[in-house]
């Protein structure tokens, strides 16, 4: 094709909610010519694979975790979620991946860790707890529950904490997320 070069990057719609469509515009559409004239395996290895972890960790994994929570909160965790969103403070200093209002008037706060090379540690929970402690609304901080989603699994210390109901901590590993029909 001759003439001015068309940039697919400029054609990506802002705020595409469907992860498949986001992936399509981010990788497939922008690499259409390369995919047409090159070996797709080579294009994947050179152009997609190096950026896939960043892409998944950016917001897609958080979206997947939110969908899992919507579908499984009642049955798997015994929680009734009224509403759910991401939390950003007005000053932009505090970000919480998932914040859900529960039927009993309490709140569930979650972090989604897309790390395949390491496990989620007690420090990750401590950071989340510190974020929650800094929230402006007292009702949000009253009897908070926590949920951690992690691709790489959890340390034994976190697993031990989650086993104690008084800790109000739920852990969701990759194996929990990919189990169907439970």
The domain that contains 156 carries what CATH number?
3.40.1350.10
Mean pLDDT (whole number) for 79-84:
96
Taking the C-alpha atoms of residue 50 and residue 30, their distance in angstroms, rounded to an integer, is: 15
Q: Where are the beta strands (DSSP E) in 78-165?
A: 81-88, 95-102, 107-113, 145-150
Does residue 96 lie in a domain region?
yes
Does residue 43 lie in a domain region?
no
Residue where the block lists tokens 């901590």: 169
Share of the chain above pLDDT 90, in %: 54
Q: What is the pLDDT of residues 92-141, one digit of tens each?
A: 889 999 999 999 999 999 999 887 667 788 999 999 999 999 999 999 99
Residue-number span of the structural domain to which 155 is assigned? 79-177
Does residue 167 lie in a domain region?
yes
Q: What is the pLDDT of residues 53-76, one digit of tens each?
A: 888 877 788 888 999 999 999 999
pTM: predicted TM-score of the whole model, two decimal places: 0.78
Which of 127, 68, 64 has its CA nearest to residue 96?
Answer: 127
pLDDT at 182 over 60: no
Mean pLDDT (whole number) for 155-165:
94
How does the average pLDDT of the chain come out, rounded?
A: 85
Does residue 158 lie in a domain region?
yes
Does residue 1 lie in a domain region?
no
Domain count, the chain: 1
Q: Where would I find the H helices in the chain?
A: 8-11, 19-23, 32-37, 40-43, 49-55, 61-72, 122-133, 138-141, 156-162, 174-177
Mean pLDDT (whole number) for 138-166:
94
């Amino acid at each position: 094709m001759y003439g001015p070069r068309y940039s697919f990057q400029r054609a990506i719609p802002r705020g595409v909610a469907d992860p498949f469509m986001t992936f399509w515009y981010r990788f497939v559409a922008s690499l259409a010519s390369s995919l047409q004239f090159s070996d797709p395996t080579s294009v994947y290895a050179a152009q997609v694979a190096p950026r896939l972890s960043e892409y998944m960790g950016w917001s897609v994994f958080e979206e997947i975790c939110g969908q899992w929570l919507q579908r499984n909160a009642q049955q798997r965790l015994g929680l009734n979620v009224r509403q759910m969103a991401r939390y950003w403070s007005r000053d932009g200093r505090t970000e919480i991946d998932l914040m859900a209002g529960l039927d009993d008037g309490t709140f569930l706060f979650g972090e989604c860790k897309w790390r395949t090379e390491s496990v989620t540690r007690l420090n990750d929970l401590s950071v989340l707890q510190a974020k929650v402690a800094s929230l402006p609304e007292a009702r949000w901080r009253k009897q908070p529950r926590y949920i951690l989603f992690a691709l790489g699994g959890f340390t034994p210390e976190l697993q031990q904490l989650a086993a104690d109901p008084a800790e109000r901590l739920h852990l969701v590993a990759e194996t929990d997320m990919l189990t169907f029909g439970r």
